[in-house]
Amino acid sequence: MELFEITIDGRQVKAEQGTKILKAALDAEIYIPNLCYIPEADLPFGGCRLCYVEVEGRGLVAACTEPVEDGMVVHTQTPEVNRLRRTAFKLLIAYHDLDCRSCWKNKNCELQSLASKLKVKLKKPEDFRGLPTDLLPLDTTNPFIVYDPNRCVLCGKCVWVCNKRNGEALIDFAYRGYETRLILSSDISLVKESCASCGECVAVCPTAALQPQPSLQSTVSSAEGG
Amino acid sequence: MTFEEIKRQATAEWESIEQHQIPVIRIGTATSDRASGALEVVEAFENELARLPVEAKIIQTGSVGFCNYEPLVIISKPEYPRICYKNVTPDMVPRLVEGFLLEDDPCMEFALGTLEGGNGSPPYIPELPRSEHELRLLLRNCGFIDAENIDHYIALGGYSALSKALEMTPYEIVEEIKRSGLRGRGGAGFPTGRKLESCLKARENPKYVICNADEGDPGAFMDRVVLESDPQAVLEGMIITGYALNSSQGYIYTRMEYPLAVKRLKTAIEQAKQRGLLGEDILGTGFNFRIEVFQGAGAFICGESSALMYSIEGKRGFPRVRPPRSIEAGLWHKPTQLNNVKTFACIPVIIGQGSEYFSNIGSPRSKGTAVFALAGKVENVGLVEVPMGTTLEKVVYDIGGGVKDGKRFKGVQIGGPSGGCLPEAFLNTPIDFDSLTEAGAMMGSGGMIVMDEENCMVDAARFFLDFTQKESCGKCVMCRLGTKQMLSILEDIVSGQGKPEDMEQLINLGEDIMAGSLCGLGRSAPNPVLTTVRYFREEYEAHILEKRCPALVCRDLIAYYIIPEKCYRGCEHCVLSCPSEAIVEHPKRFKVVDQSKCVKCGNCLEVCPPEYNAVVKLSPVSELPSSDLPIKDEK
């Protein structure tokens, strides 16, 4: 593998040919916001749209998908980059259940840490319209995992990790457009062994969209109360 | 069998029909014809021929593309020019059979025109104003050949290009296509030759050839007509491509909603196999190529190439990030050449007639012809094929016959729901990839929807965005939530809840979504909104600032009003038509709409006899005479 030298925010960084800008930057401890990035995945998911950077001569690109090229000059903080990131982030939180105080991932949530890094207040954007007022019901059909669509950012990490571990995903995407959400397999014979012992999807979830069944009681009451 | 023998047989079959001693009745039975009753016409002809002592041959063809004249019937009788009959109904059939076939009255009152002759009445179709601007390269066979008879295609020159290609090297074929200047007909306009070259150079094997027939734009049906009317042309293009790439497997990805296209394609594949033009050892050269038809379930996103490939693999139709490109790692991670139906249909023309023939047609950077599905408020709805570079005006007016019912032209939506809406000032825009993109629209796959003064542009933008939002795959934030937010703003505007800052917000969001989305769907979804804000800003302002819908479309901004002086007091048409009992009688006996009960269905306006014409639409609602505003129970 050829070793390329690229410049990120004025710093010289070495990266192997084929490496994506995001990995090269994170490896060099230069932070680029991201939510759906899985370092081990063969193919980036590319769904969160937070990792924009500006490459000289190329313009705005998603850092997770763009391979490094020798001599490439990357800026991670330009007005255009920040604008796109903030738009994507504002969209995410606009449709998110922001009752953080009653959320079991409070202070341990990637949206919260992203908000402080992006300097965006974690509240509904005032200039947005038609935001949902009611919460969607929790999906409790799976005997081991509870899914909260109101707190899901659809980053796909759980789907990837479940696929990797079980050879097929017991969690997957369903529906289209704004209605897109995850569904969990409720087939007991399928999930019995895998779900009961694994829990990796819960571990990998950046928010509180997935949690183990035992805490069901408190979540239901908080969702109904909220 | 050699190709010469196949061709000789096919020609003999074709000539037995053409140099007929008995009349030939060609009836278009593509989906559009069927929708206007073509199958009933076929049945009527069959019954009539059985009843009367007259012999004639019925051939079911595809569509000529003159959808407003369908069902279309072309009758060739010895010693007569071919006569084309329009809007044929079963009750016209006895006249045609008895009058024309049995006796000698060609029933010209039913005719659209003749295909031979000229200089005088009846109208000679090649001399109609529209024919002057049209050039039928891909549609040449549509409506004239039996789509389920390969011999017709071969007799008219089909598969000669394949026979020629099999004597060329793959590099020669790719060079020929590169020289032709062909650009992908699916919308983006990427040079097909360059794509082929990259795929040819890809080292991995096997390679796949995919025909993208997942046509999903509202109002677009070009690919369907080609598949239903001339499926062999698409197969031939795919086989040549397969040979050039040394691929042995092709797929046609189409949708469940196109059952007739699927049926005709499957028949076409079987017939091509029987002739040795597809399958094992094609024309004795040792080259093997199979084609399978794959039916998607109708998700719009599966027209995006990477989502389409995932769909064939049995996965969810999610577009994936690039790199890698499909030509390196597409279907099952193997190099894959994916093109649109019309792109493949161009290839036999280029190989058969030479790249120079093709590149002489069109404009400097867009070669060949453009096929459009002309729809909306235009006289001649249907398919249009023109050389690239023809102006929009020629398509809408000279070919399309102008706006329906003499209404005023307002705009034309080009390129489907992700295209843009262009106003009158852009009618002189040449139709080619670059000019349309520059104007803010796009070529897309070829939908063209004409809108008149009765179309509200804000509502049109809302309609298209509602479509793309619902069809977004949901993978990326910008498209899934960004279009939702834009849609919410538009819904507010059309219901009178718009705010002055909304236009700015729409532009900002739209630009971010276009810059930041993962795939082409998101990157183009805001187009209808951005172009209407740019070109029809005054309509947005009227909705937002005056709560007025200038086209009188948006329900929340209009009111139905009965002009007392015009209302004929004895008539009760409106009262009876009203589903919500909103029309009451004034003590002076004229009728009044109770606005609190009115559901704005428009029935009263429809049924009010034209001699009174008393019902009108008003906007804004505040235009209502004050006495009319809150109707109190006056009984």
Task: Answer whether B237's CB lies under 8 Å from B347's CB.
Answer: yes
- Nearest Cβ partner of B472 from A64, A84, A177? A177
pLDDT band at B440 (very low <50, low <70, confident <90, very high): confident
3-state DSSP percent of chain B in helix, strand and coil, to 5: 45, 15, 40
Task: Report which secondary-structure segment, H or E, holds A110.
Answer: helix A110-118
- Identify the closest residue of chain A to B490 by CA–CA distance: A129
Residue A71 has pLDDT above 90, yes or no: yes
Residues B466 and B413 in one domain: no
pLDDT computed for residue A27 by the predictor: 96
As a whole number, mean pLDDT of residues A84-112 equals: 96
As a whole number, mean pLDDT of residues A56-60 equals: 95
Q: Is B4 among the domain residues?
A: no
Contact: B469, A180; criterion CB under 8 Å? no
pLDDT band at A191 (very low <50, low <70, confident <90, very high): confident
pLDDT computed for residue A225 by the predictor: 39
Residues B71 and B118 in one domain: yes
- How distant is the Cα of A48 from the closest Cα of chain B, in angstroms? 6
Contact: A87, B322; criterion CB under 8 Å? no
pLDDT computed for residue B627 by the predictor: 60
**Where in chain A are the domains?**
3-89, 132-225
Domain closes at, from B359, B384, B402: B359
Burial group, residue A221, by CB count within 10 angstroms (0-12, 13-18, 19+): exposed
Cβ-based contacts of A149 with chain B (< 8 Å): none
Contact: A177, B470; criterion CB under 8 Å? yes
Architecture in CATH of A3-89? Roll (3.10)
Contact: B516, A87; criterion CB under 8 Å? yes
Domain closes at, from B402, B423, B455: B455
pTM here is 0.94
Q: Please check whether residue A87 touches B, CB under 8 A.
A: yes
Measured in degrees and rounded to the nearest 5, phi and psi for residue B334 equal -110, 155
- What value does the mean pLDDT of chain B take? 94
Q: Please check whether residue A94 touches B, CB under 8 A.
A: yes
- Nearest Cβ partner of A130 from B320, B492, B518? B492
Q: Residues with Cβ < 8 Å from B529, sequence gap 6 or more?
A: B461, B464, B465, B486, B490, B506, B510
Residue A190 has pLDDT above 80, yes or no: no
As a whole number, mean pLDDT of residues A211-216 equals: 69
pLDDT computed for residue B74 by the predictor: 96
Angle, helix B170-180 to helix B192-201, in steps of 10 degrees = 160
Chain A interface disruption, residue of B325, B475, B503, most A CBs within 10 A: B475
Q: Is B635 among the domain residues?
A: no
Residues B275 and B372 in one domain: no
Give the three-class secondary structure for A55.
strand
pLDDT band at B120 (very low <50, low <70, confident <90, very high): low
pLDDT computed for residue B117 by the predictor: 75
Measured in degrees and rounded to the nearest 5, phi and psi for residue B34 equal -60, -35
Domain closes at, from B455, B474, B492: B455
A143-168 pLDDT, tens digit per residue, is 889 999 999 999 999 999 999 988 88
Chain A interface disruption, residue of B333, B477, B507, B513, most A CBs within 10 A: B477
Residues B385 and B327 in one domain: no
Give the CATH number, domain containing residue B186.
Answer: 3.40.50.11540
- How distant is the Cα of A62 from the closest Cα of chain B, in angstroms? 8
pLDDT computed for residue B118 by the predictor: 63
Contact: B321, A94; criterion CB under 8 Å? no
pLDDT computed for residue B121 by the predictor: 62
Cβ-based contacts of B322 with chain A (< 8 Å): 65
One-letter amino acid of B459: D
Contact: A95, B484; criterion CB under 8 Å? yes
One-letter amino acid of B417: P
pLDDT band at B119 (very low <50, low <70, confident <90, very high): low
pLDDT computed for residue B629 by the predictor: 52
pLDDT computed for residue A218 by the predictor: 45
Angle, helix B457-471 to helix B527-535, in steps of 10 degrees = 170
Contact: A127, B501; criterion CB under 8 Å? yes
CATH (one of 3.40.50.150, 3.90.1150.10, 3.30.70.20, 3.40.50.620) for A132-225: 3.30.70.20
Going from the C-alpha of A192 to that of each of A160, A185, A186, A213, the distances in angstroms are 19, 10, 10, 13
Q: Please check whether residue A41 touches B, CB under 8 A.
A: no
Q: Please check whether residue A61 touches B, CB under 8 A.
A: no
Other C-beta atoms closer than 10 Å to the C-beta of B315 total 11
DSSP 8-state secondary structure symbol assigned to residue B219:
T
- What value does the mean pLDDT of chain A take? 91
Residues B369 and B327 in one domain: no
As a whole number, mean pLDDT of residues B407-414 equals: 96
Distance in angstroms (rounded) separating the CA atoms of residues B316 and B309: 10
Which one, of B45, B267, B30, B247, lies nearest residue B153 by Cα? B267
Contact: B481, A60; criterion CB under 8 Å? no
Contact: B476, A172; criterion CB under 8 Å? no
Residues B262 and B331 in one domain: yes
Task: Report which secondary-structure segment, H or E, holds B330.
Answer: none
Task: Answer whether A177's CB lies under 8 Å from B474's CB.
Answer: yes
Give the CATH number, domain containing residue B539.
Answer: 1.20.1440.230
Residues B352 and B205 in one domain: yes
pLDDT computed for residue B18 by the predictor: 83
As a whole number, mean pLDDT of residues B416-427 equals: 94
- C-alpha B129, offset from chain centre: 22
- Nearest Cβ partner of B482 from A52, A91, A154? A91
Residues B440 and B485 in one domain: no
As a whole number of Å, the CA-based R_g of chain A is 19
Say how many domains are in chain B: 5
Distance in angstroms (rounded) separating the CA atoms of residues B418 and B119: 45
Burial group, residue B69, by CB count within 10 angstroms (0-12, 13-18, 19+): buried
Distance in angstroms (rounded) separating the CA atoms of residues B527 and B530: 5
- How distant is the Cα of B516 from the closest Cα of chain A, in angstroms? 7
Domain containing residue B85: 9-128
- Nearest Cβ partner of A177 from B323, B469, B492? B469
Residues B486 and B527 in one domain: yes
Chain A interface disruption, residue of B480, B509, B519, most A CBs within 10 A: B480
Distance in angstroms (rounded) separating the CA atoms of residues B452 and B376: 9
Chain B interface disruption, residue of A82, A127, A157, most B CBs within 10 A: A127
Residue B604 has pLDDT above 80, yes or no: yes
Contact: B482, A179; criterion CB under 8 Å? no
Measured in degrees and rounded to the nearest 5, phi and psi for residue B583 equal -100, 120
